[in-house]
Structure 1
Amino acid sequence: MSTDTEHVDEGAETSVLETWKRWYHIPILGVVMLFMLLSRVRSYDRFASSDGTPALQAIDSWYHWRMVQWTAENYPHTMPFEVWTGFPTGQYSGQFGTLFDQIVVTAAMIVGLGDPSPETLYTVSLLAVPVMATLVAIPVFYIGRRLGGTLGGVVSVLLLALAPGTFFYRSTTGQLDHHIGEVLFMAIAVFAMMVALRVAEREKPIYELLLDGDRDGLKTPALYSVLAGVALSLYIWVWPAGVVLIGIFGVFFAVQLCLDYVRGVSPDHVAFVGAVSLGVTGVITVLLMEGGGTGTGVTSFGYLQPITAFLVAFGCVFMAWLARQWNGFDIDRRFYPAAIGGLIVATFLVMALALPDLYSTLVGNLTGRLIPINASETGLTVAEVQPPEDFTQHVVDEFGMAFYTMVAGLVLLVLCPFIGSLERNYRAEYTLIIVWSLFLTSMAATQTRFAYYLVLAVAVVNAVFVADIVRLFDLGGSVEQLRSIETYQVIVVIMVALLLFAPLLPPIANVTAWDRGDQAYPSDDAMAWEEANHWLEGNSPEPGDWAGAGHEDELEYYGTYEYPEGGDFDYPEGSYGVLSWWDYGHLITVQGERIPHSNPFQQHARSSSAFLTAQSEERGELLLDGIAAEGESVYDLSDDELESVVGNGTDSNEEMRYVMIDHKMAGGKFGAITQWAGPGYGTYVNQEQYTIGENEGGLQAPSENYDETMLASLYLEDATELEHYRLVHENDDYAVVGGFGRSTPRGISDDPFESFRLERLGMSGSWSNQTQNFQIQLDQSRMLGQITPLSQSQFLYDAHVASSVKTFERVEGATITGSVDDESLADENASVYASVDLETEPGRTFTYGQQVDLAADGTFEVTVPYATNDELGTEDGYTNSSVLATGDYSVFVGTPGENGSVDVHYDGETEVSETAVVNGESVDVTLEEADGESADPTSDAEDGAGGAGEGTAENESESDSGTDSGSNSSTDSDSNTTDTDNATESIARSSAVSVVG
């Protein structure tokens, strides 16, 4: 009896273990996917909107939000052409409004029962990317299981879930970008291709079956090949630049067909999969083509995708045909790959001659995306497309040691035909994984962001590594084998587990996936620009209604606009654009509902760069007028050439009316801005000597060329001495723009164009991190920054305190005209000075000043951009400026006096109406003879004060009279010291330095 009981118990235990071994992956997969989702939504509360205002990560997320909103309004259609960006041409949206956005909106439609509220749409958008990232686990598991059994599949999803790098942080709440959609659909496409290849190897379709019309013999491989083609097409539909996967598949088919033929295996089997799947992809991508995608661009649906797909399909058919012909030649099979390689090179040579655009696109993407060579200087200004500085450390940070075990897994895949104990027959899908993994590795070494692709290869190839370790050390098998496991086998299991997972888990990991999930925050740029853009939306006329044109109905925000003939949209009268750096274009479109000139498509980046670095207002004006007349192509023309372009007629319907500049453009982004239109960054810096304690060396400081740029003249000087630009709004938070120096035993680590944003905390702000550490105390006016170095080795130089974002308006300017009776003053180098005190909405006051020479006949004309009243507003088709004059213009005529002062001979005051400013009208001023007083009219631009520092509590009287703030270095408005000859000594001073922005 006892024996029978024992037998029953043992059988039940065996049955349970066998059942667990068969199905254990399902609960594990469920738990892992739940972890993946929960870890990615830990920061959800930071993005949840209580007032309907979105908060998202990454700038591209904002444009996807635009596409999600538009698609919801026009469901199921996608936007054919975008007129709310890229002024004055508009822009084909390309990789936005694709399947990714369609999926998000469709999910919202389901949740909202066909009519989702804005809150539902936003909630679904916040959760879409974390959910997509979680779903990636499914194809990863099945790919891993094909390569390494069920255990390999489980290992793959565990690595995917625990990886804390690029794939993770691009898939947290607040990320509304297509990157994770790319990963999901790439994984599906690769899995589908693997299955199709395996079915073809089993069913063995050949050319004769096609001739005989044997449907039964071709049906199954044809079905799976079509599904592979559909999966590949879905991936490209998510990201048009996914044409790179067609190229990867093309390389795989070339390699595999050569291997098959050399090994004596018919290439027909694999060629059949390639021809059918890529043929299907070609047909589908033809259907995806839209009016704006008729070129060979990578980021839009055009000719490139179907052409490359059909080329690969044709190549598969050709290689199979050539193999049959080769059999009739008396040539060794081993020369077949060389012949194929030669034909490929010849094809590219012919393409370079016959189709140069297609050739340059293919080669450009090969070197720019797939291979880490020949990256463009402008492309490298984008952080995510820069290569990792240290690739070996980069992959460790991303995947721990799993990247190196992946390399071992690839080696094992290659060697499996030669190692009998691995018990694996070589299959075409192994070649696919090897080629794909090598390309993903190269892509990750080319652009940092592509680590989110590499995580797929790292995860699935480690299935091979684990499975082969299990085979080599006999760790698998039946329940009886598990019972008799040896000590060394336990040690191997522990070592493999530690190697793969310990670097990704505490206490070894610096940051885990779970920790990183709580580190997601809304974009700093979006938060900084929200106030400025919302102000712009509410205080500027609707596009199409400038000057009361009344055409705003022709530019509906959710309207549909077909791709225009010639590619450039014809904007209606009353339209206008907003010039800023391309980083902020999507924010201007979405937050401000206004039309930026340049955008993160990098459209019009060169013309924006040319304007921002222009060395005079005259050239800046010519550039903007030239852009309206001819487009971006004018960016590198000379002034004479620009005058010719402008003289041929500028379209009055297309004007750039606003310029928006933030502290990063004046600071850390300035180097990138210079790369697009030139000259380079070095033109704007000087080498200056410094002394700190016993350390001496050289540092880079902004040069006069930087000070004279339109960017600096506007942002740092509040448009002082400019005739056609005026500040109309500034944010109520502030930043420090300047150079941060850190003395080291060997020299200095500094950047002359650094910027740090101050979040207002009452009347003070602070900022610090590992490499920059200083404190800034603000006085009651919040304008005078007291900068306190924390040590002898740290200091700020040439620093300005300014609003985080400033908005300027381009106006005709009013001309103040007048005359004096004493014509002899012209012979005494007399000048005319006009100034007005202004106050911003946050309460900062500053003085605008302008100076011109007195004419020989005693007359003068001074063009000024600020009005002394606020008589026009958005209802009239003009700007409702938040920067207001506190009094009338003060105008005086003076001659040079002693010690830099000016002897005043005539003075007077006048009003300047808003109408005169926007229409370019003249305003007369009557000057009366002065009482022999003297003044110091040194402008902000001349002393480096930058306008923004004028009007604080302690120097308000000085700014009213236009006098200099003094020569004491502790209160001088020029933060780089008063005496440039003693700059070295002053910069080295360790005492507190007062900085005025």
Structure 2
Amino acid sequence: ALLAARDRSFSLKDFETLKTPAMLSALAGIAYLFGYFNMPTMILFALIVAAFTLIQFLLDFFRDQSSDYLVLVNAVTFGVVILGTVAFGFPHPGLSLSMYTVGHVIASVALIAGTLALYGLATFLKERPKYFFPAALVGSVILAIAVLHVALPEVYNLLVSSLISFFGEQPVTTTVQEARAWSFDAAWATFHWGLVLAAGGAATLIWWIYRKMNPAYVFVLVWTGIILASTAAHLRYEYYLAANIALLAAVFAGAVINVTWKDAARLFRSESGDILPDTSERQEKAKKGKKGGRARDTGKPKVSAKDRADPLKVGAFAAIVIVTLLFGGSCFATTLGMAQTVKYGGIDSQWMEALEWMGAHTPDPGVDYYTIHDKETFAHPDEAYGVMSWWDYGHWITYISKRIPNNNPFQHGVAGPNGSAVYLTSTSEKEANQILDNIGTRYVITDYQIVTGKFHAPATWADQELQMAPFQPYFLLPVSAGSTSYQAMPFYTQKYYLTMAARLHNFDGSMADPGSEVLYTEYREPGTVNNSLPLVTRMEQMDATAAAAAVEEYNRDAPAGSAATLLSLYYEVKADSILYPIERVPALQHYRLVHETPQNVFVGGGADGPDLKSIKIFEYVPGARIKGDGIIEVPVTTNTGRAFTYRQESVNGEFIVPYATSGWSGEVKTTGPYRIVGTDVTFDVTEEDIQQGRTVN
């Protein structure tokens, strides 16, 4: 469309001159709509067009060339886009460009209006000094942004704030793998030698533009630049960038081969003897020597300079062929490897086992999985309930278990006061229970990843400012004894062990006492000695009780800028540290384990080693009440045969217990009555007591 409009004269009064460029522009608009109907983030390509239009106007102005072709192409292309967008409708409210809203129409109108404004400004300043145009552009942009910010804040947020936030990085984006920033290692792993070829292709296009202006070349460069910036900000745009890498690699390879292939051909023909004359015929006339004598005929004919291969060009030809083959070969190998991985990949087997169990052994929520429900009239039936887990697993819960997840990979239900992030990192059972009550949740699924490698995700979503600091802070430690060099290392605080995720998965909801030893730590606070993190001055393994007393004593008269605390080793340093809190962790009163998967995450721990299952499913229940003081306990055996003791300390002379000792037909069973430790007092608790919240005694 660009070249058709630029390379021919057209007039608004002569339809024949408009027909071809207008039709091609309309097809471009239809192609854009196909992308838009697939995903609203197609707006990124409107940004590419806008940036290209601005740059091309500048280039045309400095070359004294009309830019009317840009007006025609943009007006027709995005006129078609506007019509198609309006016909499609706006199922989502507001102006967000990441959803199907009227904001897309506003953006398209703004692009057309901006093109017309650029054309008018270029025409008005045509006879003025060249620097007037870019100066006027800068001033106009600043003025437009200021006016929008004051007079039309919604449009400002739509066009300006959205752009800034898109190329920026919010803390929560680091928790989404495909939304993280790009790295050189990731770039090379994906495109390898294609990056080298693409860089050469970009340089080639710049050289061609310098020799002769071609808006198509400019568009490719702008397109590549914006997609490259998008990929640098968000890894997921690699699949967009692949087209640019392939295109630029082809441009460079083709350009080099076009210049060098004749020399390579000469070399090959020379080696095969094709360009040499017949050496069997000797020259009949002898050549004269320096003294007029006859020189001996060597039989070696001379090759003219124009027929001689240029070694530099031959080398360039060989290099480009080798690098191109490396690029193609590595791409093929990577694709083949991914295909083989997918063949044996898919949903984790432990998750599959857990969710298949859930689909078969939990109550039907009363919502037909295969029915298309009306958004305006649908209401959940009374028996419906939600399943709390992390958003990574939401679609699995829906697809395999046919149950209703509280959140999903669209990040629905993750943030906010009732989100899964706040729930999983909550250190108060009362507050966590309120979240489940607010959103109608009956089951909670935890896994090993969410209490270890993925824990940073809910922590970041729950508090984007503090993130991991309250649970897994970093401290500076000397690299070695007596060293003045320091390294940052993570540790667990007691607050980590108090989170709902840890209390459920690590401790089965039971009371947990500290391990035999904890880390007594003295440190200098950040900023006291030019340090950005707490700097450890003393760290010693101590008995938990003695360590707690030592912390209290040190902090009573601690020097300014210094403090002491208790820490535990990070799971990557000591794998089973997540099972041993720093201080006592109280039991959860309303959660009972109903299923766990067979895999022990501590492989090779032996019969006496720790046994922590990969995935656990808990039911949220009212719980039965037992009057009494002290610690109550009941033996429990899980569906995998693992045995543990549920223990709970009384609060205000009462226990609220989640496990039934009779009337329960589930897989996880108690193997005896409740007993108050240190006494012979026992209690039988029925399933009806648990579900009705009855007081047993």
TM range (shorter): 0.7 to 0.9
Within 5 Å, which residues of 2 pair with 1:590-669?
Answer: 590-606=399-415, 607-625=419-437, 628=438, 654-669=439-454
Separation (CA, whole Å) in 1 of partners of 2:116 and 2:477? 70
Within 5 Å, which residues of 2 pair with 1:921-960?
Answer: 921-924=694-697
Seen in structure 2, the aligned counterparts of structure 1 residues 675 and 688 have a Cα distance that, compared at 3 Å, is closer
Aligned AA (1:809): E
Match of 1:807 in 2: 617
1:541 is aligned to 2:363: yes
Aligned AA (2:660): A
Larger Rg: 2
Deviations 1:821-840, CA, capped at 9 Å, x for gaps? xxxxxxxxxx3332221111
**Cα drift, residue 870 of structure 1:** 4.1
Assess if the C-alpha contact under 8 Å between 1:276 and 1:313 holds in 2. Answer: no
**Cα drift, residue 417 of structure 1:** 4.7
Match of 1:89 in 2: none
Seen in structure 2, the aligned counterparts of structure 1 residues 814 and 711 have a Cα distance that, compared at 3 Å, is same
Match of 2:99 in 1: 300
* Gap runs ≥5 in structure 2: 270-274, 276-306, 511-586
Assess if the C-alpha contact under 8 Å between 2:473 and 2:491 holds in 1. Answer: yes
**Cα drift, residue 239 of structure 1:** 2.0
Match of 2:470 in 1: 683
Aligned AA (2:364): E
Seen in structure 2, the aligned counterparts of structure 1 residues 718 and 267 have a Cα distance that, compared at 3 Å, is same
Separation (CA, whole Å) in 2 of partners of 1:354 and 1:778? 70
Match of 1:464 in 2: 251
Match of 1:138 in 2: none
Match of 2:647 in 1: 849
Seen in structure 2, the aligned counterparts of structure 1 residues 401 and 692 have a Cα distance that, compared at 3 Å, is closer
Assess if the C-alpha contact under 8 Å between 2:125 and 2:132 holds in 1. Answer: no
Match of 2:21 in 1: 221
Assess if the C-alpha contact under 8 Å between 2:414 and 2:421 holds in 1. Answer: yes
SS in structure 2 at match of 1:340: helix
SS in structure 2 at match of 1:907: coil
RMSD over equivalenced CA pairs, Å:
3.3
Assess if the C-alpha contact under 8 Å between 1:233 and 1:285 holds in 2. Answer: yes
Q: Aligned match of 2:150 in 344, 353, 362?
A: 353
Match of 1:730 in 2: 596
Assess if the C-alpha contact under 8 Å between 1:870 and 1:884 holds in 2. Answer: no
SS in structure 2 at match of 1:778: coil
**Cα drift, residue 358 of structure 1:** 4.5
Aligned AA (2:96): G
Within 5 Å, which residues of 2 pair with 1:693-732?
Answer: 700-720=490-510, 721-732=587-598
Match of 2:459 in 1: 674
Greater length-normalized contact order (CA 8 Å, ≥ 6 residues apart):
1
Assess if the C-alpha contact under 8 Å between 1:282 and 1:306 holds in 2. Answer: yes
Deviations 1:526-560, CA, capped at 9 Å, x for gaps? 433111111111122122xxxxxxxx2xx321222
Within 5 Å, which residues of 2 pair with 1:514-913?
Answer: 514-521=336-343, 523=345, 526-543=348-365, 552=366, 555-564=367-376, 570-606=379-415, 607-625=419-437, 628=438, 654-678=439-463, 679-685=466-472, 700-720=490-510, 721-736=587-602, 765=603, 776-779=604-607, 784-785=608-609, 801-817=611-627, 831-852=629-650, 860-871=653-664, 881-891=666-676, 904=678, 906-913=679-686
Seen in structure 2, the aligned counterparts of structure 1 residues 223 and 614 have a Cα distance that, compared at 3 Å, is same
Separation (CA, whole Å) in 2 of partners of 1:525 and 1:357? 42
SS in structure 1 at match of 2:171: coil
Deviations 1:913-945, CA, capped at 9 Å, x for gaps? 112211212222xxxxxxxxxxxxxxxxxxxxx
Seen in structure 2, the aligned counterparts of structure 1 residues 348 and 500 have a Cα distance that, compared at 3 Å, is farther
Separation (CA, whole Å) in 2 of partners of 1:921 and 1:245? 62
Deviations 1:429-483, CA, capped at 9 Å, x for gaps? 111101001112212222223222222112112233233324544749999x998
Separation (CA, whole Å) in 1 of partners of 2:318 and 2:117? 50
Seen in structure 2, the aligned counterparts of structure 1 residues 699 and 404 have a Cα distance that, compared at 3 Å, is closer
Number of matched residues?
A: 576
**Cα drift, residue 663 of structure 1:** 0.3
Separation (CA, whole Å) in 1 of partners of 2:179 and 2:144? 29
Separation (CA, whole Å) in 2 of partners of 1:686 and 1:496? 50
Assess if the C-alpha contact under 8 Å between 2:263 and 2:314 holds in 1. Answer: no
Q: Aligned match of 2:133 in 336, 355, 363?
A: 336
Assess if the C-alpha contact under 8 Å between 2:663 and 2:688 holds in 1. Answer: no
Within 5 Å, which residues of 2 pair with 1:72-151?
Answer: none
**Cα drift, residue 811 of structure 1:** 0.8
Aligned AA (1:445): A
Deviations 1:660-685, CA, capped at 9 Å, x for gaps? 11000011111222111234312113
Deviations 1:596-626, CA, capped at 9 Å, x for gaps? 112211122232121111112122123334x
SS in structure 2 at match of 1:575: coil
1:366 is aligned to 2:163: yes
Match of 2:191 in 1: 399
Assess if the C-alpha contact under 8 Å between 2:631 and 2:676 holds in 1. Answer: yes
Assess if the C-alpha contact under 8 Å between 1:275 and 1:313 holds in 2. Answer: yes
* Gap runs ≥5 in structure 1: 1-195, 420-424, 544-551, 629-653, 737-764, 766-775, 786-799, 819-830, 872-879, 893-903, 925-997
Percent identical pairs in the alignment equals 28
Separation (CA, whole Å) in 1 of partners of 2:107 and 2:394? 32
Aligned AA (1:383): Q
1:384 is aligned to 2:162: no
SS in structure 1 at match of 2:170: coil
1:426 is aligned to 2:213: yes
Separation (CA, whole Å) in 1 of partners of 2:16 and 2:265? 38
**Cα drift, residue 355 of structure 1:** 4.1
Separation (CA, whole Å) in 1 of partners of 2:350 and 2:135? 58
What is the TM-score normalised by the length of structure 1? Answer: 0.54
